[in-house]
Amino acid sequence: MATTADFRNGLCIEYNHDLFTITEFQHVKPGKGPAFVRTKLKSLTTGRVLDNTFSAGVKVIEVRIERRKYQFLYKDDSGYHFMDANTFEQTYIDEKLIDNPSFLKEGEHVEILVKADTETPLICELPPFVEFDIAYTEPGVKGDTATNTYKAATTGTGIEIKVPLFINQGDRVKVDTRTGQYSERVKL
């Protein structure tokens, strides 16, 4: 059990039959009335963020969450298969636990949040940026670098993204996995 005095960013708690992590908190002692703590909680199961106020000294259930490094192996009918980077044990995860599964490439390293006491995987976090080779796009024209215009491109894994006009077939680009947008061209 933890109290509001133990609150810190990143602390995982069980609240309303769900697992939350504290993203922001502020202890408030008004001139009149009892002290309280304002928090922003992010659900580990649904991803939604909610504002909540706790009275000072309230006890909450602290949950131990571990971040483990895994390597993505392949996908089949049972789910996405990963290998633990330390123990080489294989496990599979349902697609709904992965933020943007289309950005997973074979051999890609990810972090999986695991509830330590039950060994239950909660969320699979991809790296913030992933590199892809452009398999197909319309050819670029010299001088098209001045405008902020985008065209469709297909990566080697079949994902369609928007890239600037100067990107050509065979180029390597960096894509933001959180937004799915082009970030920069990678020099080979």
What is 2-62's CATH topology? SH3 type barrels. (2.30.30)
CATH of domain 65-125: 2.40.50.140
Nearest 5°: the CA angle 10, 38, 35 is 125
Per-residue pLDDT tens digits for 118-147: 888 888 889 999 999 999 988 866 665 666
Average pLDDT, the chain: 88
Topology (CATH level 3) of domain 129-186: OB fold (Dihydrolipoamide Acetyltransferase, E2P) (2.40.50)
- The residues of the chain that CATH labels 2.40.50.140 are 65-125, 129-186
Rg of the chain, C-alpha, whole Å: 22
Find out whether 24 and 39 touch, Cβ atoms under 8 Å. yes
Give the CA angle between residues 53, 58, 60 to the nearest 5°: 90
| Amino acid, res. 145 | T
- The segment(s) of the chain belonging to CATH 2.30.30.30 are 2-62
* Per-residue model confidence as pLDDT tens digits over 77-108: 888 999 998 889 998 888 888 888 888 888 99
Confidence at residue 175, expressed as pLDDT on a 0 to 100 scale: 92
Task: State yes or no: pLDDT of 17 exceeds 70.
Answer: yes
Task: For residues 43-50, give the mean pLDDT.
Answer: 84
